[in-house]
Amino acid sequence: MARKREVAIKKTIRRQQLRDMVPLADSTIYEMEQRGEFPRRFALSPRCAVWDLAEVEAWLAWRRSTPISRA
């Protein structure tokens, strides 16, 4: 029997809370998710998507410590 990987998620956030933390457009976040550059949302129900708060906080800490090369 295959073992499922257990993931410990302590807290999740919805879109409005994410917007308060990350001031990017929804389309930008979606595109970054698709490229693997931002934590992926997951569905709690057919109409409710959430993000793992710890993953978003880790992403913010990483962005803060990594310079962005500008064009």
Per-residue pLDDT tens digits of the chain, which is 71 residues long: 556 666 677 899 999 999 999 999 999 999 999 999 999 999 999 999 999 999 999 999 999 998 887 76
**Are the beta carbons of 53 and 13 closer than 8 angstroms?**
yes
Predicted TM-score of the model (pTM): 0.81
Predicted local confidence at residue 53, as pLDDT: 97
Domain segments of the chain: what residues?
12-65
